[in-house]
Amino acid sequence: MSNKAYKFRIYPNAEQSILFDKTFGCVRFIYNVMLEDKIKHYKEHGKMLNNTPTQYKSTYVWLKEVDSLALANAQLNLQAAYRNFFGNPKCGFPKFKSKKKSRCSYTTNNQGNNIRIVDNCIKLPKVGFVKINQHRAIPEEYKLKSVTVSKDPDGKYYVSMLFEYENNIQPVQVSEDNILGLDFKASCLYADSNGNFADMPKYYKNSSKRLAKQQKKLSRKTIGSKNYQKEKNKVAKLHKHISNQRKDFLHKKSTEIANQYDLICIEDLSIKEMLQERTYRNYRKSVLDNGWYDFTQMLMYKLNDRGKQLIKIDKSFPSSQICHVCGYINPALKDEKIHKWECPQCGEHNDRDINAAINIRNEGYKIYQAA
Ligand SMILES: [Zn+2]
């Protein structure tokens, strides 16, 4: 069995936020009050006190308002910390959790499907259905073990979902001529090391054109008018349609190459970096549009399921500047406008994207062999 965690942002309503904050407070409280009693008991009797959250519920009745599993997990955390202390008293008693410094979080467990995602909402004990942005798919065979709800200092809430899955897949023997390198491409999805471009299908392009037209129509309407609302709904529907088409395409493409190749290599471009970096700024729209991030996530789990690997290459690797034939490094290629170039050393005619994809493949294979 292996474990895997997925983190998603959630959007609680006002009432749910209050309950989350209350739970964070209760978890911190029960941890501290139980620790205090443990310390007292140890000082008096030199022994470990086995206390449970239930004992405190009659004195502090408000503890009953929050998820009891959250309290139980706080107890488990405390026990683990306290056992360390017993193993090595020199390290001192576990520390109390301060309101200011400690992280706002609690962990609850999935018992009999009491936690699940339905229609863009996650159902949590005591809290009910909370809106979730599930930006990546979770394989159906994964079993949900626990969920940690947390709040960042900026007030945003997240869930980290821990899954368990059976990992009895035999790793595939990688054959050198069955490795694919992908170079992210803003205008389509990618160029590959075999000289192919993964272009969005025609139907997708058609609906994108339709969307542009529809948006133009919308811009001519008076904001707030009946017609404006009507056109706005049409645009929203089309957006949804396009997003479904894109997801479909990404699934088909990722399944196709995950089936075909033993090893796939890509550059390690995170969405965040791509959106921040100046050189990628012109990619901005495409990154969001063409679903590169979703695609790499799909690839990763599909390859894993087949005993295969996705190798990510550090983005500092100059994949577009190296001639894949002779290894000559051509700094002129930093200029992204150059699409075709002739290698001054060996004379090879290179296509920018395909050459980069080949370099990514070769570098990825090196990393694979070294591991
Ligand atoms: Zn060359």
- C-alpha 338 – ligand 1 centre gap (Å): 16
CA of 317 to the centre of ligand 1 (A): 17
Closest of 356, 336, 341 to residue 183, by C-alpha: 356
Strand order in the sheet with 197-198: 197-198, 190-192, 179-184, 263-267, 309-313
Considering the chain, what is the average pLDDT of its residues?
A: 89
- Show the tokens assigned to 340: 């075709």
Separation CA 37–CA 27 (nearest Å): 16
245-255: pLDDT as tens digits: 888 999 999 99
Its pTM stands at 0.56
Least confident of 61-75, 204-218, 261-275, 314-328: 261-275
Ligand 1 centroid vs 366 CA: distance in angstroms?
A: 20
Quote the ligand 1 centre to 281 CA distance (angstroms): 29
Q: What is the domain partition of the chain in residue ranges?
A: 2-165, 176-370
- To the question of domain 176-370 being in CATH 3.30.420, the answer is yes
Question: Does residue 287 have a pLDDT over 80?
Answer: no
pLDDT digits over 163-182, tens only?
998 877 888 999 999 999 99
Question: Distance (Å, rounded) from C-alpha 87 to C-alpha 286?
Answer: 55
DSSP 3: E
What the block records as the tokens of 87 is 């193993």
What's the gap in Å between 352 CA and the centre of ligand 1?
A: 13
Q: Report the distance separating Cα 133 and Cα 14, nearest Å.
A: 18
- The encoded tokens of residue 252 equal 């088909």
Average pLDDT of 170-199? 91
Question: Which backbone phi and psi does 78 adopt, to 5 degrees?
Answer: -65, -45
Tell whether the model's pLDDT for residue 21 goes beyond 90: yes
Tens of pLDDT, residue by residue over 250-286, are 999 999 999 999 999 999 876 555 555 444 444 444 4
pLDDT confidence of residue 349: 96
CA of 345 to the centre of ligand 1 (A): 5
- The phi-psi region of residue 274 (left if phi > 0; otherwise alpha if psi is between -120 and 50; otherwise beta) is alpha
**CA 349 to ligand 1 center in whole angstroms:** 8
First and final CA of the chain: distance in angstroms? 23
pLDDT at residue 62, as a whole number: 94
Residue 164 Cα to ligand 1 midpoint, Å, equals 48
Q: Which of 217-221, 319-323, 340-344 is the least confident region?
A: 217-221
Distances (CA, A) of 199 to 183, 260, 280: 13, 18, 20
Cα of 186 vs centre of ligand 1, distance in Å, is 25
Residue 81: enclosing H or E segment and its boundaries? helix 68-87
Q: List the structure tokens of 184.
A: 């992210």
Distance from residue 189's CA to the centre of ligand 1 (Å): 26
How long, in residues, is the chain? 371
Tokens (6 digits) for 183: 């170079």
